[in-house]
Amino acid sequence: MRIIVVGAEGDIGKVACEELGSRHEIIKAGRSSGDIQVDMADRASVDAMYAKCGKVDAVISTAGNVHFGPLADFTEETFMLGLRHKVMGQVNLVLAGLSNVGDGGSFTLTSGVLDRDPIRMGAGAAAANGALGGFVLGAAIEMPRGLRINVVSPSLLDVSVPRYGEWFPGHEPVSSKRVGLAYAKSVEGAITGKVIIVE
């Protein structure tokens, strides 16, 4: 398969590429990293990415910034950051990608643990994750041409503990290998409309 991975050079992106890279052609995308540059929060940039890379069999997103901060300090602007980047960015990849993914292909998005096991300062991320679960459920039943869509929702990855571990007291990190397998399950398997929890 020909697979585009947006966020390929991030912690989760690397894990997904490692799992799928030996069996498939991977096109790596990021704002400044990878083979193709895209800002998924900007629909015109996403359209340009698809025009450049041509038809693919699968789209994986492992990108999506959110603002972390105390609930009382959130502003409309900081809250919107997660909705604009993590939610609309990934929705943009799907809406723009509908005509660029071949018959029977798939979209695999990324959310995270915080809408089921919250941490302090994570309300923006929790809201974004919940929205993505709802989007995938709703979109799956309208996918044309046998296309599928899922969202991988991992706990904190073992490789990300040095960056984020202190924010996740009591959370047991999940093996990167198992997170990679979740992307393989979505791309190479048959399920659709699922939140694939890895914890």
The contact set with ligand NAP (CB under 6 A) reads 6-7, 9-13, 30-33, 38-41, 62-66, 85-86, 89, 110, 112-113, 125, 154, 156-157, 160
Closest residue to ligand NAP, based on beta-carbon distance: 10
Please spell the DSSP secondary structure of 144-161, one letter per residue: STT-EEEEEEE--BGGGH
DSSP string, 35-68: SEE--TTSHHHHHHHHHHH--EEEEEE-------
Of 185, 105, 186, nearest to 147 by C-alpha is 105
Query: In the complex, what is the shortest distance from the CB of residue 85 to ligand NAP, in angstroms, rounded to a whole number?
Result: 5
- Please say which residue, 63 or 119, places its beta carbon nearer to ligand NAP: 63
Q: Minimum distance from CB of 28 to ligand NAP (Å)?
A: 8
**Nearer residue to ligand NAP within complex by CB, 103 or 136:** 136
Query: Whose Cβ is closer to ligand NAP: residue 11's or residue 188's?
Result: 11
Question: Least distance from C-beta 139 to ligand NAP, angstroms?
Answer: 18
Minimum gap (Å) between residue 45 Cβ and ligand NAP: 8
**CA–CA separation, 11 vs 19, rounded Å?**
13
CA distances from 36 to 16, 24, 29, 107, 125 (A): 17, 17, 5, 18, 26
